[in-house]
Amino acid sequence: MRPLSLVFLPLLGLSLAACRDEQAGPRSRKPAASAQVKTRDTAPADLTFRSGATLGGGALVYLGSRVSPVQPSPGQAVQFSHYFQAVRPPPEGFRFFVHLVDADTGQMVVNADHEFQNGAAPLGSWPQGKVVEDVHTVQMPPAPVRVMLGFWKGDERLTVDEPRAQDGANRLLGPELGKAPELPEYKVQRVSTPLVLDGVLDDAAWKEATPVVLRGSFDGRSASLRTEARLLHDEASLYVAFDVEDPDIWGTLLTRDAPIYEQEVVEVFLDANADGKTYNELQVSPHNVIFDAYFPARRQGMDLSWDSGMKTAVKVRGTLDNPADRDEGWTVEMQIPFARLAEVPHVPPRKGDRWRFNLYRLEHLGRRNVEGQAFSPLFIGDFHALPRFGWLTFE
């Protein structure tokens, strides 16, 4: 299994709040001496999300939340107002948390933990029968999210009484925000004869293939360095070509199936039967080192004994492993046999067959700052986010 450090890809210019551990909470903040719990008799009538879920064995009720604007755009400031009521004396020592998680995978995107009412209303101070309101603002992430909220103390969370009102980890299900962007599609043309792999993309067939430019994997923005990809297929194989702009071409890992994803690499993920479970991961480094693996489920059971039978060729426009000069880039050709891939519906693929797939590049700007690029942006730091894979349609 790839380490967690490879899952989160911090990108330059990222403006979202940093994602902390999901057990983390806000720092202690002492309310001013004159601060008092702000209460109201009832929740507003215009709640945009209604709950009624109880916590702590019925001690608290989460009435719901109000979101403004109701349909925020990516990057827009969103105001949340959350409403709770203490039916019985509330437990002491628990603090408030708010998590925005990816709507498809459940991975946390924004940790918006903070003290309730800016520290003026610790849970144990809530008066029985009154409604308490907490208001805070978060920047809308690029892709749909679900708000999860609740109360924590140390390593525990206050119990959410009803299973259907939580995520299984005592996080209340709150509002859902955002609309998923359309998944991109690549129509891959068929060629009658196998391509010659030499790393030079001067074959006439490549000139006819549709080019696509990879974009920032986290936010879909233009990447710092250009990466162009093309795909073709014949009866036996899928061909993938990358043309990579890179002023410093390097790599220290020279053994097959070494963790080249920790350095500079291009990648192809293929879910041939589009089931969102079984898939293959194939990578090539500038040194023409390959990594290939089979996964029976998302991020589970990584099988490095699987042999893709892939053939590759790399052409470097510059000098490898020399930071003193300025390189131009490198090109890659990959020939991937259909018969070796997992769960391929038809070999060869039939016209109209649709697979799920994604193309990636990892670039270490200055050999330090990692930038992830993708054909279909993921909007989270995880290249294994299968629900965000694009479509590969065979012609």
User: Looking at the predicted structure, is the pLDDT value of residue 13 above 80?
Assistant: no
85 and 211 co-located in one domain = no
pTM of the predicted model, to two decimals? 0.77
Please check the confidence at residue 28 and state whether its pLDDT lies above 60: no
Residue 36 is predicted with a pLDDT of 87
In-domain check, residue 1 = no
CATH number at residue 229: 2.60.40.1190
The arithmetic mean of pLDDT across residues 235-244, rounded, is 98
- How would residue 219 be classed by pLDDT, with cut points 50, 70 and 90? confident
Are 163 and 58 within one domain? yes
pLDDT at 158: 98
pLDDT band at 35 (very low <50, low <70, confident <90, very high): low
- Higher pLDDT pick, 55 / 21: 55
**pLDDT of 358 above 90:** yes
Residue 222: inside a domain: yes
Q: Which residues of 43-79 are buried (b: 16+ CB within 10 A; e: fewer)?
A: beeebbbebebbbbeebbbbbbbbbeeeebeeeeebe
Bridge-based pairing of strands 390-394 and 185-190 is parallel
Burial class (CB in 10 A: 0-12, 13-18, 19+), 177: buried
The pLDDT, as a whole number, for residue 85 is 98
102 and 52 within one domain: yes
Q: How many domains does the chain have?
A: 2
Residues 143, 284, single domain; the answer is no
Average pLDDT over residues 359-371: 95
Widest CA span in the chain: 80
The pLDDT of residue 118 is above 90:
yes
Domain carrying residue 148 = 39-177
Q: Decide if pLDDT at 132 tops 50.
A: yes
- Are residues 115 and 44 both part of a single domain? yes
Q: What CATH number should be reported for the domain holding residue 69?
A: 2.60.40
| Per-residue pLDDT at 4 | 36
% of the chain beyond a pLDDT of 70? 91
Q: Is 290 helix (H, G, I), strand (E, B) or coil?
A: strand
Q: Is the pLDDT of residue 10 over 70?
A: no
User: Distance between CA 170 and CA 165 in Å, rounded?
Assistant: 9
- Let me know whether 53 and 168 are in one domain: yes
Quick one: tokens of 113? 């933990």
Kindly tell me if the per-residue pLDDT of 48 is higher than 70: yes
Residue 142 and residue 194: Cα distance in Å, rounded? 40
**In terms of domains, do 166 and 227 share one?**
no
| Judgement on whether residues 171 and 189 belong to the same structural domain of the protein | no
Measured in degrees and rounded to the nearest 5, phi and psi for residue 386 equal: -60, -35
Q: Does the pLDDT of residue 246 top 80, yes or no? A: yes
**DSSP letter string, 17-28:** PP---TT--PPP
Give the dihedral of Cα atoms 292, 296, 298, 299; nearest 10 deg: -60
C-alpha separations of 365 from 12, 19, 204 in Å: 10, 22, 33
Q: For residue 20, what pLDDT band results from cuts at 50, 70 and 90?
A: very low
Selection from 306, 254, 308 nearest residue 285 by Cα: 254
3-state secondary structure at position 392: strand
Residue 310 lies in a domain: yes
Mean pLDDT to the nearest integer, 360-368: 94
| pLDDT, tens digit (0-9, with 9 covering 90-100), for 89-109 | 999 999 999 999 999 888 999
Is the confidence at residue 144, as pLDDT, over 50? Answer: yes
In a domain? residue 31: no
Q: What local confidence, expressed as pLDDT, does residue 12 receive?
A: 32
On whether residue 20 sits in a domain, the answer given is no
Same domain, yes or no, for 172 and 190? no
Query: Looking at the domain assignment, is residue 237 inside a domain?
Result: yes
Top-ranked range on mean pLDDT: pick from 3-17, 24-38, 119-133: 119-133
Parallel/antiparallel/unpaired status of strands 145-153 and 131-139: unpaired
Beta strands 77-86 and 60-68 are antiparallel
Whether 204 and 241 map to the same domain: the answer is yes
Give the residue from 145, 177, 209 where a domain finishes: 177
* Residue 140: strand, helix, or coil: coil
Helix (H) or strand (E) segment spanning residue 207: helix 204-208
